[in-house]
Amino acid sequence: MENCIFCKIINKEIPANIVYEDKNFLAFLDIRPLARGHTQIIPKTHYRWVWDVPNIGEFFEVAKKIALAQKKAFNADIVRSQIYGEEIPHAHIWVWPEIVGDEKDLKGNAEKIISSIQ
Ligand SMILES: [Zn+2]
Protein backbone atom coordinates (compact mmCIF):
# COMPACT_ATOMS: atom_id res chain seq x y z
CA MET A 1 0.00 0.00 0.00
CA GLU A 2 1.37 3.43 -0.95
CA ASN A 3 2.54 5.77 1.80
CA CYS A 4 2.35 3.04 4.45
CA ILE A 5 5.56 3.24 6.48
CA PHE A 6 5.39 -0.45 7.42
CA CYS A 7 4.95 -1.50 3.77
CA LYS A 8 8.04 0.60 3.00
CA ILE A 9 9.97 -1.29 5.71
CA ILE A 10 8.78 -4.61 4.20
CA ASN A 11 9.97 -3.47 0.76
CA LYS A 12 13.29 -2.32 2.30
CA GLU A 13 12.64 1.25 1.14
CA ILE A 14 13.12 2.37 4.76
CA PRO A 15 15.85 0.81 6.91
CA ALA A 16 14.89 -0.97 10.12
CA ASN A 17 16.55 -3.17 12.73
CA ILE A 18 14.95 -6.42 11.57
CA VAL A 19 15.08 -9.25 14.12
CA TYR A 20 12.96 -11.84 12.30
CA GLU A 21 11.59 -12.41 8.83
CA ASP A 22 9.78 -15.28 7.14
CA LYS A 23 7.51 -15.66 4.12
CA ASN A 24 4.54 -13.92 5.74
CA PHE A 25 5.78 -11.88 8.70
CA LEU A 26 8.45 -9.38 9.67
CA ALA A 27 9.64 -8.26 13.11
CA PHE A 28 11.76 -5.16 13.73
CA LEU A 29 12.65 -2.86 16.59
CA ASP A 30 10.44 0.13 17.30
CA ILE A 31 12.31 3.41 16.74
CA ARG A 32 10.69 4.81 19.91
CA PRO A 33 11.22 1.90 22.26
CA LEU A 34 9.31 1.54 25.53
CA ALA A 35 12.03 -0.83 26.73
CA ARG A 36 15.09 -2.70 25.47
CA GLY A 37 14.32 -4.68 22.36
CA HIS A 38 10.76 -3.33 21.91
CA THR A 39 9.64 -5.10 18.72
CA GLN A 40 6.88 -4.58 16.18
CA ILE A 41 5.59 -7.69 14.44
CA ILE A 42 3.71 -7.17 11.18
CA PRO A 43 2.24 -9.22 8.33
CA LYS A 44 3.99 -8.71 4.99
CA THR A 45 0.62 -8.19 3.34
CA HIS A 46 -1.05 -4.91 4.21
CA TYR A 47 -4.03 -5.40 6.53
CA ARG A 48 -5.56 -2.55 8.48
CA TRP A 49 -6.11 -4.43 11.74
CA VAL A 50 -4.57 -7.44 13.45
CA TRP A 51 -8.07 -9.01 13.41
CA ASP A 52 -8.13 -8.81 9.58
CA VAL A 53 -5.06 -11.06 9.19
CA PRO A 54 -6.34 -14.43 7.86
CA ASN A 55 -3.42 -16.52 9.23
CA ILE A 56 -3.67 -14.83 12.65
CA GLY A 57 -2.56 -17.99 14.47
CA GLU A 58 0.73 -17.95 12.59
CA PHE A 59 1.01 -14.22 13.40
CA PHE A 60 0.80 -14.96 17.14
CA GLU A 61 3.24 -17.87 16.80
CA VAL A 62 5.77 -15.31 15.55
CA ALA A 63 4.89 -13.01 18.49
CA LYS A 64 5.58 -15.94 20.83
CA LYS A 65 8.91 -16.64 19.15
CA ILE A 66 9.96 -13.00 19.63
CA ALA A 67 8.70 -12.84 23.23
CA LEU A 68 10.68 -15.97 24.19
CA ALA A 69 13.77 -14.58 22.45
CA GLN A 70 13.38 -11.30 24.38
CA LYS A 71 13.08 -13.19 27.67
CA LYS A 72 16.33 -14.95 26.92
CA ALA A 73 18.16 -11.98 25.37
CA PHE A 74 17.45 -9.58 28.24
CA ASN A 75 16.95 -12.04 31.09
CA ALA A 76 13.42 -10.70 31.51
CA ASP A 77 10.72 -12.42 33.56
CA ILE A 78 7.91 -10.35 32.06
CA VAL A 79 7.26 -9.73 28.37
CA ARG A 80 4.39 -7.39 27.61
CA SER A 81 2.43 -7.01 24.44
CA GLN A 82 -0.13 -4.60 23.18
CA ILE A 83 -2.42 -4.23 20.18
CA TYR A 84 -3.68 -0.75 19.43
CA GLY A 85 -3.36 0.12 15.78
CA GLU A 86 -4.36 3.78 15.51
CA GLU A 87 -0.81 5.12 15.10
CA ILE A 88 0.09 3.20 11.90
CA PRO A 89 -2.68 1.84 9.65
CA HIS A 90 -0.94 -1.53 9.14
CA ALA A 91 -1.65 -4.42 11.49
CA HIS A 92 1.03 -4.72 14.20
CA ILE A 93 1.65 -6.37 17.56
CA TRP A 94 3.95 -4.69 20.06
CA VAL A 95 6.10 -6.99 22.19
CA TRP A 96 8.59 -5.74 24.73
CA PRO A 97 10.43 -7.15 27.74
CA GLU A 98 9.81 -5.43 31.06
CA ILE A 99 13.41 -4.50 31.68
CA VAL A 100 15.28 -1.24 31.99
CA GLY A 101 18.55 -0.60 30.23
CA ASP A 102 19.82 0.93 27.05
CA GLU A 103 16.67 0.88 24.94
CA LYS A 104 18.22 3.28 22.40
CA ASP A 105 20.90 0.78 21.37
CA LEU A 106 18.70 -0.55 18.56
CA LYS A 107 21.46 -2.38 16.71
CA GLY A 108 22.87 -4.05 19.84
CA ASN A 109 19.42 -5.00 21.10
CA ALA A 110 18.42 -6.37 17.67
CA GLU A 111 21.54 -8.57 17.64
CA LYS A 112 20.69 -9.89 21.12
CA ILE A 113 17.20 -10.90 19.98
CA ILE A 114 18.41 -12.42 16.70
CA SER A 115 20.92 -14.61 18.52
CA SER A 116 18.23 -15.72 21.01
CA ILE A 117 15.56 -16.79 18.48
CA GLN A 118 15.03 -20.56 18.47
ZN1 LIG B 1 1.19 -1.35 5.01
CATH of the domain at 79: 3.30.428.10
Distance from C-alpha of 42 to C-alpha of 45, rounded to nearest angstrom: 8
**44 C-alpha vs ligand 1 centroid, how far in Å?**
8
Q: Where are the beta strands (DSSP E) in 24-117?
A: 25-29, 39-43, 79-82, 93-97
* Catalytic residue, candidates 38, 46, 90, 92: 92
DSSP letter for 52, please: G
Determine whether 92 is an active site residue: yes
**What H or E segment, with its residue span, contains residue 10?**
helix 5-10
Between the CA of 37 and the centroid of ligand 1 the distance, in Å, is: 22
Full domain range(s) for residue 23:
5-116
Tell me how many domains the chain contains.
Answer: 1
21 phi/psi in degrees, rounded to 5: -150, 135
Residue 101 pLDDT > 90, yes or no?
no
Q: How close is the Cα of 27 to the center of ligand 1, in Å?
A: 14
Q: What is the CA(4)–ligand 1 centre distance, in A? A: 5
Q: Model confidence over 62-87: pLDDT tens digits?
A: 999 999 999 999 999 999 999 999 98
